[in-house]
């Protein structure tokens, strides 16, 4: 690790002293102050992208999609429903979840069902607004020449569509995939007036003038096929069971968005839980995290088989090398589908085109990684170093003090707004330094969100 100055455990102890609670009497939820230091460190990383990591893996013959979280813990999604729920309950002075979770009894202000519903709703809303849950999925087409394809119920957005004709009997993989352009019905009419509806290989797709969860191909397909899709999908079903936590599938460093969204929903209802002032604050924090998630970078530069290669978006690959899924050989480009999913093109073979025949191609990626935080192997944080420079530790602890004070409410909490601004100021200073030493920082950090710019999402 680059920094070995202060551990998370030491930072949590300092935070307890700042809050005049060194004996952990008031902030007595399990690991409450440690979790607040973790949230502060993660926010600093989301604001600056300071911590980088090297990711390595090998390609596999005929495989073009690579989930980066599976390749390296540095980009893995590990935040769970239980982690978020425990932080929500601590901020609201409610007892923590125990046992299976469903037997939780709070103070009377909130019910278990209310908490679970709010968390599920905010998770799905965050994914829908940020677009940070992109998966690849193959969907069977309708019988030709029907041009309408039904999508899975969990789909929020279609980010890419490629047409894959089913193989002729006896053919071997890979199956060729033909990327389709996104268009709407007016565009089809305007640019192809009186166009033939004769079934043939489709060229475009539309999801505008169709019923929900329906995709239209144009021209109508003439042969049996599947669709190779990149989709934004809803999050997993949460259960708030400490014995079986559910991974949320969103970037760890912005997972606090769900926490603040849940607090906004719980405090924004009528009845004993009503606290409109803090609900408005939490809603503002949620909105800030959505914006951060849309911009949060990942892969900066790449090498394949020891040679520097281009990095961009999957749209770049479709536009500049539209046959990349139809040919095999040594790949030379990494196209990002989102923060955690990469395409390798052209379609890799088994290494016969490279200098080491019969072996897969090694891929090296330099990436903005997750902020390293204590895990199950280090529950107290005593063995995990806080990965910020010494001039940034105090602002990170300022923010941890600010969110810890949320449970106090009133003037005590309002009085800590300066600490929040201290973290923002420190992040601005760090971003200024990073920009000064990198002429092309904006271009490198755009790879993860480039598809959302080129194929506009919102």
Q: Residues 329-334: what's their mean pLDDT?
A: 94
Q: Between 171 and 378, whose confidence is greater?
A: 378
Confidence grade of residue 168 (pLDDT, cut at 50, 70, 90): low
| pLDDT tens, residue by residue, 181-195 | 999 989 888 887 766
Q: What is the pLDDT of residue 273?
A: 86
The average pLDDT across 286-292 equals: 97
Instruction: pLDDT band for 209, please (50, 70, 90 cuts).
Output: very high
Position 203 scores a pLDDT of 93
Q: How many CA atoms lie within 13 A of 212 on its CB side?
A: 5
User: What is the structure's pLDDT at 195?
Assistant: 66
Q: Does residue 170 register a pLDDT over 60?
A: no
pLDDT digits (tens, 9 = 90+) for 2-11: 899 999 999 9
Residue 232: per-residue pLDDT? 96
Q: What is the mean pLDDT of the chain?
A: 93
pLDDT value of residue 358: 62
Q: What is the pTM of this model?
A: 0.94
pLDDT in tens, 119-159: 999 999 999 999 989 999 999 999 999 999 999 999 999 99
Q: What is the pLDDT of residues 229-246, one digit of tens each?
A: 999 999 999 999 999 999
Give the pLDDT confidence of 396-418 residue by residue, as tens digits: 999 999 999 999 999 999 999 99
CA distance 99 to 358: 51
In this prediction, residue 271 carries a pLDDT of: 86
Using the predicted structure, report yes or no on whether residue 281 has a pLDDT greater than 60.
yes
3-state secondary structure the chain: CCCCCCEHHHHHHHHHHHCCCCCCCCCCCCCHHHHHHHHHHHHHHHHHCCCEEEEEEECCCCCCEEEHHHHCHHHCCCCEHHHHHHHHHHHCCCCCCCCCCCCCCCCCCCCHHHHHHHHHHHHHHHHHHHCCCEEEEEEECCCCCCCEEECCCCEEEEEEEEEEECCCCCCCCCCCCEECEECCHHHHHHHCCCCCCCCCCCCEEECCCCCCCEEEEECCCCCCEEEEEEEEECCCCCCCCCCCCCECCCCHHHCHHHHHHHHHHHHCCCCCCCCHHHHHHHHHHHHHHHHHHHHCCCEEEEEECCEEEEEEEHHHHHHHCCCCCCCEECCCEEEECCCCEEEEECEECCCCCCCCCCCCCEEEEEEECCCCCCCCCCCCCCCCECCCCHHHHHHHHHHHHHHHHHHCCHHHHHCCHHHHHHHHHHHHHHHHHHHHCCCCHHHHHCHHHHHHHHCCCC
Answer whether residue 169 shows pLDDT above 60. Answer: no
């Amino acid at each position: 690790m680059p920094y070995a100055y202060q551990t998370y455990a030491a930072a949590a102890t300092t935070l307890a002293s700042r809050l005049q609670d060194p004996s952990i009497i008031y902030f007595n939820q399990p690991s409450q102050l440690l979790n607040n230091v973790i949230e502060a460190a993660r926010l600093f990383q989301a604001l600056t992208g300071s911590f980088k990591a090297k990711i390595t893996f090998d390609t596999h013959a005929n495989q073009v999609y690579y989930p980066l979280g599976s390749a390296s813990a540095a980009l893995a999604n590990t935040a769970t429903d239980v982690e978020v729920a425990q932080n929500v309950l601590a901020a609201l002075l409610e007892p923590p979840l125990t046992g299976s979770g469903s037997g939780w009894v709070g103070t009377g202000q909130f019910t278990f069902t209310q908490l679970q519903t709010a968390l599920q709703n905010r998770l799905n809303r965050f994914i829908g607004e940020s677009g940070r849950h992109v998966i690849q999925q193959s969907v069977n087409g309708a019988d030709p020449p029907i041009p309408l394809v039904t999508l899975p119920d969990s789909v929020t957005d279609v980010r890419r569509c490629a047409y894959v004709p089913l193989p002729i009997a006896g053919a071997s993989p890979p199956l060729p995939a033909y990327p389709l352009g996104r268009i709407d019905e007016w565009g089809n009419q305007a640019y192809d007036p009186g166009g033939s509806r004769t079934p043939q290989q489709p060229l475009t797709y539309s999801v505008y003038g169709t019923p929900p969860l329906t995709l239209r191909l144009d021209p109508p397909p003439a042969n049996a096929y599947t669709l190779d899709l990149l989709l934004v999908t809803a999050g997993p079903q949460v259960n708030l069971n400490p014995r079986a936590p559910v991974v949320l599938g969103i970037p760890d460093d912005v997972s606090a968005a769900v926490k603040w969204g849940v607090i906004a929903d719980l405090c924004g209802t009528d009845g004993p839980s009503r606290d409109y002032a803090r609900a408005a604050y939490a809603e503002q924090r949620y909105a800030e995290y959505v914006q951060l998630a849309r911009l949060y970078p990942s892969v900066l530069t790449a090498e394949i088989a020891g040679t520097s290669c281009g990095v961009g978006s999957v749209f770049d690959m479709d536009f500049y090398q539209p046959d990349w899924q139809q040919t095999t050989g040594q790949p030379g480009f990494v196209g990002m589908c989102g923060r955690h999913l990469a395409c390798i093109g052209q379609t890799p073979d088994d290494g016969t085109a490279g200098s080491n025949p019969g072996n897969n191609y090694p891929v090296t990626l330099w990436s903005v990684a997750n902020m390293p935080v204590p895990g199950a192997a280090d529950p107290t944080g005593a063995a995990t170093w806080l990965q910020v420079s010494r001039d940034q530790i105090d602002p990170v602890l300022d923010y941890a003090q600010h969110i810890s004070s949320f449970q106090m409410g009133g003037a005590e909490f309002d009085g800590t707004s300066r600490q929040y601004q201290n973290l923002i100021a420190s992040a601005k200073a760090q971003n200024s330094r990073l920009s000064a030493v990198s002429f092309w920082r904006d271009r490198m950090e755009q790879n993860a969100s480039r598809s959302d710019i080129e194929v506009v999402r919102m």
